[in-house]
Structure 1
Amino acid sequence: MTSSDTTNAIHDLLPPTPRWAFSEYERVRHRLPRGPSRPDATVPEAQPSLGPLADRFDAFVFDAFGVLNTGDRALTHAVTRFAELQQAGKPCLILSNAATASTARLLEKYRRMGFGVGESQLISSRWLLEQALADNPRQGLWGVIAPLEANPQTLGLNYLSIQGEPNANLRERMDRCDGFIFLSTRDWTRSHQALLEASLASYPRPLEVANPDLVAPRDDRLTLEPGFFSHQLADRTGITPVFYGKPYSPAFQAALDRLGNPAPERVLMVGDTLHTDILGGQSAGMGTLLVTDYGSLNGLDIGACITRSGITPDVVAPHI
C-alpha cells in the first residue's frame, strides 16, 4: 500500500490516530520551519505541571486544543492555572490555529468555559488571515472552503462558497475561482478533495490555508484539519500553499508583538504538538513546554517521538 493509499484509507474508513498524525507531520517536515539546531543528547526537563515554571518566565503563550480544552470542555486545572498566572501579573495569550470562528466567537467560547481572557489575549489563525487580506486585498474571485456559519463574507473577498454536493456543478464553481481559502474541513470528503485536486492540476492557483494543523483533538478523537488536505494538494499538484498560524513565524511574531516584544527566551510557549507548538515556539526563540496527557501525542512514547523528530521541548509535563 502506498503512502497515498494509506492516507485515503484512514480518511475514508478510520479516524486519524496519534501515531498516524505524527508520521504525517514527519512526512511533510520539509514544508515546516527548520527549527534550531540542538545537541542530540538534549533531554527535556520533566515536571508535574506548569506550576514550577511560573517564576522562570515573564509571559506565557498557550495553544488551545489539547492544552486548555478539548472541544467545548475546559481541561482539568487549566482554568485555575490560567487565572493563577494572571493574578501573579504574568501576561497570558492564547495562540490558536482556529480558523472557522471569528475572534468575538472564540472569545465568547473561552469565557464560557471559565477563562478570564480579553480580546487582546487571543490570536487565531483566522485573525492572522484577516489581517493579511486587509493589508493586501486579493483580486478576482476566491473560493472559500467552509460552512456558511464560518461567515466568509467577513474576509473582505469577492468569493464563492465551495460547499455542497461534489458534482459537476461544484467543479465548475471551482474552475471559476482565481484562488482558494481553506478555512474548515466540515463536510469535506474525499470526493470534494478529488474535485479540487483536479481543478488545481488543470490550472494551478493560489491556496491560502487558515489552519495548518493536520489533526485536532476533539473530545475522544482526532479530526482531519485543513493542513492535512492542503499538504496533500501540494504533493499531488505542485502548488505551494500559504499557511497562517503555527508553526509558521508570523503567528509567533504576532504573539511577541502583543506582549510588547519581550526577549523571546523569557516567554514560554505551551502546546501539545511537537511539529506546531514546540517547533514554532523554538524557531521564534521561545522556551517550550510540551503537555502530553491530551491532544495529538496522547498515548505515544513521547521520548521516541522526540528522538525521531529531533524536536526537543525544554520541559515536558502531563498537563498545565
Structure 2
Amino acid sequence: MEDTHPTAFAGVTPDPAWAFDQYQRLRHQLPRPDYNPGPSQAIPSLEPLQERFDAFVFDAFGVLNTGMAVIPGAVERLASLQASGKSVLVLSNAATASQAALTAKYQAMGFDLAEHQVISSRWLLEDSLGREPRNGLWGVIAPPTSDSQTLPGIHQHPVRPGITDLELDACDGFIFLSSEDWNEVLHEQLTASLKRRPRPLEVANPDLVAPRGDCLTLEPGFFAHRLREDTGVSPQFFGKPYAPAFAAALTRLAGIPAHRILMVGDTLHTDILGARAAGMATLLVSSHGSLAGMDLDSCIRQSGIAPDFITPSI
C-alpha cells in the first residue's frame, strides 16, 4: 500500500535538523518540567537497565519500528523484558487506527502485546470524547477507512480532498487524526474557513514529523501549529508530550512509582520532555528516529532536555 503522508509542504522538506529547529521554535507551547538535567549516560543497549526498572514504556516509531519495518532486536527486547516479569507499555502518538487495529498491527510485527498494553493518542481522544461528547457537526481529517468513522460522542463529516468551502464552514469543530492525503489546497481551505469563523481544533497526533523508512513525513502537529499561527485558533492536543498521555501510562502502571518507570523514545521534545515532566526516567534512542545523524550533545545543550540514558538502539 502506498504511503500518502506528505514528505514536503509549501517548500518544506523535513529532515532531522529542520525538525529539531521546529520543536525548538515551539518550545514555549510544550510542557516545562521542573528539573535540572544532569549528564546523560551512554549505554550500548537497553539491556544494562533491564533489572534497574520495574516498568518500561516504549514509543513506537523510531524505537520499535520505522513505518511498517520492525527495528532489528526490538521484538526480542520486549519479549525479554516480559519474560523477566517487567511491565511493558507502548505509548504512541498514532491516531489513525483504533485500539484493536493498532494492537493487531504490533502483533503482526511480532510483538507480544495485548490491548491494555497499548496507549495511543487516538485512544486518549476517544476516551475524552466518550466522557465529554462534543455538540454539533465535526469535520474529521483522516483517511477513508472504517476506523475513522467510529469516533464516539460526535456527529462527523469527513474532511478529504474535494471537500467544498461550504461543507467546511458547516462544521462546528475539527478533529485532526492523520495527515494522509493532506495537501496545500486542503490546508488553505481549512485556514480560510477558520479565519471566517474560529472553531475548536482537536489534534490527536501532536508530532511534527514521523520516521518512515528513509524519510520523515509531516504529521498533524506540524499543520496544527501552522493553523494556530495563521488563524489564532489554539489546538487541543492529545498524546505526547502533553500530561494526559503520561498520566494514562501511570494509571495503567498503578503501584509502580514514576521514577521506577523508564520511558524509551527517539524524540527529545515529545518522549523525553513529557516523561521528565511526569517524573519518569528516560532513555533516548538515537539511530532510527527523528534525531538520526544529529549531534546529540549539541541538541541536548540547545534544548536543555537531557535524557538519563542514550543508546543507539534498544
Q: Scaled by the length of structure 1, what TM-score is found?
A: 0.94
Q: Please name the residue that 1:93 is paired with.
A: 89
Corresponding residue SS for 1:290: strand
Map Cα deviations across residues 36-90 of structure 1 (whole Å, 9 max, x no partner).
Answer: 3315xx3101100110011111100000000001111110111111000000000
Map Cα deviations across residues 190-227 of structure 1 (whole Å, 9 max, x no partner).
Answer: 11111111111111100000000000000111000000
Q: Please name the residue that 1:140 is paired with.
A: 136
Q: Please name the residue that 1:197 is paired with.
A: 191
Partner Cα separation in structure 1 for residue 131 and residue 119 of structure 2: 17
Provide runs of 4+ in structure 1 moved above 6 Å.
none
Partner Cα separation in structure 1 for residue 174 and residue 225 of structure 2: 14
Kindly indicate whether the alpha-carbon contact (under 8 Å) linking 1:100 and 1:150 is maintained by their aligned counterparts in 2.
Answer: no
- Residue 104 (structure 1) aligned with residue 78 (structure 2): no
Q: 1:309 aligns with which of 261, 286, 303?
A: 303
Partner Cα separation in structure 2 for residue 246 and residue 149 of structure 1: 24
Kindly indicate whether the alpha-carbon contact (under 8 Å) linking 1:45 and 1:315 is maintained by their aligned counterparts in 2.
Answer: yes
Q: Please name the residue that 1:66 is paired with.
A: 62
Q: Please name the residue that 2:4 is paired with.
A: none
Q: Please name the residue that 1:286 is paired with.
A: 280
Partner Cα separation in structure 1 for residue 12 and residue 19 of structure 2: 12
CA drift of 1:150 comes to: 5.6
Partner Cα separation in structure 2 for residue 300 and residue 170 of structure 1: 42
Distance 1:34 1:15, change over 3 A: same
Q: 1:159 aligns with which of 145, 156, 160?
A: 156
CA drift of 1:233 comes to: 0.7
Partner Cα separation in structure 2 for residue 246 and residue 272 of structure 1: 12
Q: 2:40 aligns with which of 44, 57, 60?
A: 44
Corresponding residue SS for 2:145: helix
Q: 1:230 aligns with which of 224, 227, 239?
A: 224
Kindly indicate whether the alpha-carbon contact (under 8 Å) linking 1:273 and 1:296 is maintained by their aligned counterparts in 2.
Answer: yes
- Residue 33 (structure 1) aligned with residue 21 (structure 2): no
1:121 maps to a residue whose letter is Q
Kindly indicate whether the alpha-carbon contact (under 8 Å) linking 1:163 and 1:170 is maintained by their aligned counterparts in 2.
Answer: no
Partner Cα separation in structure 1 for residue 116 and residue 185 of structure 2: 40
Partner Cα separation in structure 1 for residue 98 and residue 191 of structure 2: 28
The answer for unaligned runs of 5 or more in structure 2 is 1-6
| Identity among equivalent pairs (%) | 57
1:187 maps to a residue whose letter is D
As a proportion of its length, which structure holds more helix? 1
Partner Cα separation in structure 2 for residue 124 and residue 193 of structure 1: 25
Question: Alignment RMSD, CA only?
Answer: 1.5
Q: Please name the residue that 1:5 is paired with.
A: none
2:136 maps to a residue whose letter is G
